[in-house]
Homo-oligomer: A and B are copies of this chain.
C-alpha cells in the first residue's frame, strides 16, 4: 500500500488553497466555457436533449407553483420531507436553466426560495422526528440536510452573480454559514459524522466544501478537505485514503458504494474545477476512477449485488449517471463507461454530461466487460475481500459472489464466507439484503425495520454456515468489526475453472471455517456449474446449519421428506431462526442428496454430500414478522448435528430448458450421479464428481500454504498427483 501521496498532498493542497482562483461563477458543475458548449450543442444529441428537457420541465413546473418552505415535521416519505427534497431538486434545475437559457425567472425563483429558507433556518430547532442519532434541521437526519446543501450549493453557484450582494449576504449569513457550521460542528454527533470515515461524512464534507467554494470561504473548504482540525487526519482526502480498498471497493458493500460514489465524484469534480492543479482524479493511483469501475463491476445485468444492507438499485440511478459522466469527462480513455451511459440514456446537464453524451454519439463503444475479479477489502487491501466469478457473457451470464470481507461498518451483515449465485438473467441463490421500505413512511418511517437486525443481518439469513444457531461473533458488532475473513486464493486465470477460497477463524471461538468455491465450465455440463467445498473444523461438537435460499419452485428431490401441511412452527426463537417457518424435514440413506428447482426457463440442482446424520430442512422466511415486513423466500437447508469436523460438498448445477411458450421441456434432471470427498485434511481437499454418462472429474484444492506458483504432491486414493499452484482439476476419463 502506498500512502506517500497523503502527506505530500496535504501540504500541496494548503498551498493551492491560498492561491484558489475563486470568484468565477458558475464553477461547481457548470463552467462559463461549458455553458457556451451546452448552448451550442442543444439539438445535436437527442438523449442529452432529453435530459435537458426533463430538467427544464422540472424548472418550468416549479415556476408555476407557489414557493413553499414548510416548517419541518415529517419523516421520510412524509409531506415536509418530500417537499424539501423537491425544493432542492427544483432549485438545482432552475439554477442550471438560468445559466443555459439566460431566462431571469429561473434565477428569481432560486433567489426567492433561498430567501425563504434564510428566513426559516435560524428559527429551526432539531427536527421533531427522533429516529436518528444525527438529527437534522430540515430533515430527520443530517444526512439529508447535507444532500440538500450539495444540490443547493450548485443552484446558488448558478445564480450567484444574479443575486444582489445584499441578498447574498443575508442568505449566506442566515442560511449557508449556519448550515455549514451545523453540519460540521452543530453538536457532538454532527462533528463526529463530519470527521467520520463513513458515507454520511462524505456527504457532509461535500456539502460544506461546495458551499465553501461558492462563497469563497477558504476555511470551510479546508475543513471539508482536511477535517475540522485541518490536519488531514479526517476530511475528504483522508476518506479517499481509507474508505476505499486499493481495488476501489467500499467496505460497506455495493449498495452503499453506489450511494457514496455520488458525493465522492461530485465533490471531486468541484475540486477539479476549482483547483485543477490538485489532480484529484489521479490521487492515490486514481482511486476514484477505480471506485467507479469497481462499482459497475458489482452488478448483475445492471442491478447491484445484495451484500450487507442493500435494496434494489441499478445503473439507472442518478448517482451512477453522475459517477459515469464525471468519470468519463476526466478519463476519455475509458470507453467502456460509454456503454453504461448508453444504457442509462440520461446525462447530467453539465459539462460532464455533455462530454459523455457527445462521446456516446460519436465514439465507437466497446461493451462493458464484466469480469471475474477479486475486490480486496480494507484501506490496505489486507482485510479479506469479495471474489466475483463470472462465466459466459451478456444477460444470461453465470455469476457468483463470495464474501470474505471485514464487517462493513454499520451496514455490515454477519455473513462470513457467504455466496450468492446469479444465472440466466436472475438471482438464483439470493442474499436477502436489507429489510427496509425506503421512503415508505408507514413502514418504520422508511428506515430500516427491526427485522433488518433480527433477520437481514443474521448469519442464518445467508448462504453460509451458522454454528450452534448463533450468528458470527454472536452478533456482536464491535467484536465483528475487529476482524475480517482471510482470502486463501483467487484464481480466475482459466475460464474453464475459476476458484475463490477463503477462511474465517474468528467468528466462532475455537472453530475454523474454510470455503473453496469453483465455477467450472465443461462440455459435460450445459452451463457452468459451481463446486462448493465448505468445511468447519473445531475441537468440540456443534450443530452446523447450511442454507441455500433459492428463487424458484421445487421440482424434485431424490430423498424423502415430510411436509408440515396443517401446522407450521418457527424454526427457533432467536438469531434469525425465529423468522423461518419449518416447512419440511427429510433424510437420505444415499451418499448424496439432490434438490432440484425451476426458475425462469431453467432448472437448478443442488447435489450435496450426505451421511446418515445429515438432516434436510425446507424452510421459508416469514415467521416472527408481526408487521408483514419480510419476503417469503424458500430455502433448502442442510443440518449437520453434533459435528466436530465436517465438510459440506455441493454442486450447484443449472440445466435444461423449461419453455412454457413453446411447451418444450429438456433435461429436468441433474447430470450429477455422484460426489465423493476423497481427501480432506489441513493440506488438501480432493473431490471427485461423476456425471450420468460415467465421466469423472477430480478437483483438488490446497487448504494451507497458499502460493500460485508452488509445486505440490498429494496422494489421493493411493495415487500420487503432482501439480503447481493452489488447485488442480482434471477430467479423469
Q: Is the C-beta of A628 less than 8 angstroms from some C-beta in chain B?
A: yes
Chain A 421-473 residues near chain B, CB threshold 8 A: 437-443, 446
A631 to B443, CA, bound (A): 25
Query: Of B563, B620, B632, which one neighbours A627 at CB under 8 angstroms?
Result: B563
Stretch of A310-318, A645-653, A718-726 that contacts chain B:
A310-318
Complex interface: stretch among A202-210, A358-366, A552-560, A683-691: A552-560
Contact of A446 among B556, B569, B665 (CB under 8 A): B665
Cβ of B661 and Cβ of A314 under 8 Å apart?
yes
How many copies altogether? 2
B443-A555 in contact (CB<8A): yes
- Tell me how far the C-beta of A105 lies from the nearest C-beta in chain B, rounded to whole angstroms: 25
Contact (Cβ within 8 A) B565 A567 = no
Total contacting residues, chain A, CB less than 8 A? 56
A117 contacts partner chain B, Cβ-Cβ < 8 Å? no
Are A567 and B568 interface neighbours, CB within 8 A? yes
In this assembly, does A68 line the interface, its C-beta being within 8 Å of a C-beta of chain B? no
Q: Given A661-B316, A665-B439, are A628 and B618 neighbors across the interface (CB < 8 Å)?
A: yes
Residue of B nearest to A259 (CB): B663
Given A567-B569, A666-B82: A442 in contact with B632 (beta carbons within 8 A): no
User: Which of B312, B566, B620 is in CB contact (< 8 Å) with A569?
Assistant: B566
| A566→B570 CA distance, assembly (Å) | 5
A553 partner residues in chain B, CB cutoff 8 A: 437, 628, 631
How far, in whole Å, are A668 and B82 apart by their CA atoms in the complex?
Answer: 12
> Does any Cβ of B come within 8 Å of A581's Cβ?
yes
| Bound form: Cα–Cα A668–B618 in Å | 35
Q: Are A440 and B566 in contact (CB under 8 A)?
A: no
Residue of B nearest to A633 (CB): B632
Q: Contact at A567–B567, with CB atoms within 8 Å? A: yes
B563 touches A82 (CB 8 A): no
> Is residue A15 contacting chain B, with contact meaning CB distance below 8 A?
no
In the assembled complex, A664 has its CB within 8 A of some CB on chain B: yes
Contacts of A77 in B (CB 8 A): 665, 668
- Given known pairs A77-B668, A311-B660, A563-B625, the reply for A568 and B581 (CB within 8 Å) is yes
Q: How far is the CA of A620 from the CA of B623 in the complex (A)?
A: 12
Q: Does A509 contact B (CB under 8 A)?
A: no
Q: Which B residues lie within 8 Å of A628 (CB)?
A: 553-554, 563, 583-584, 618
Cβ contact of A565, chosen from B623, B661, B662, cutoff 8 A = B623
Kindly list chain B residues whose C-beta atoms are within 8 Å of the C-beta of A438: 660, 663, 665
**A158 CB to nearest chain B CB (Å):** 22
Contacts of A125 in B (CB 8 A): none
Q: Which residues of B contact A618 (CB under 8 A)?
A: 628
Q: Does A658 count as interface, using CB distance less than 8 angstroms?
A: yes
- Determine the distance from Cα of A578 to Cα of B666 in the docked complex, in whole angstroms: 34
Most chain B CB within a 10 A radius of its CB, from A85, A317, A668 = A668
Measured CB to CB, the residues of A under 8 A from B are 76-77, 82, 85, 311-314, 316-318, 437-443, 446, 553-556, 563, 565-570, 578, 581, 583-584, 596, 598, 618, 620, 622-628, 631-632, 658, 660-666, 668
> What are 11 A-B pairs with beta-carbon distances under 8 A?
A317-B662, A318-B662, A438-B663, A442-B596, A553-B631, A563-B625, A563-B627, A566-B623, A567-B567, A567-B569, A583-B628
Instruction: Given contact pairs A442-B556, A565-B570, A566-B569, enumerate 4 new A-B contacts (beta carbons under 8 Å).
Output: A317-B662, A439-B663, A439-B665, A442-B668
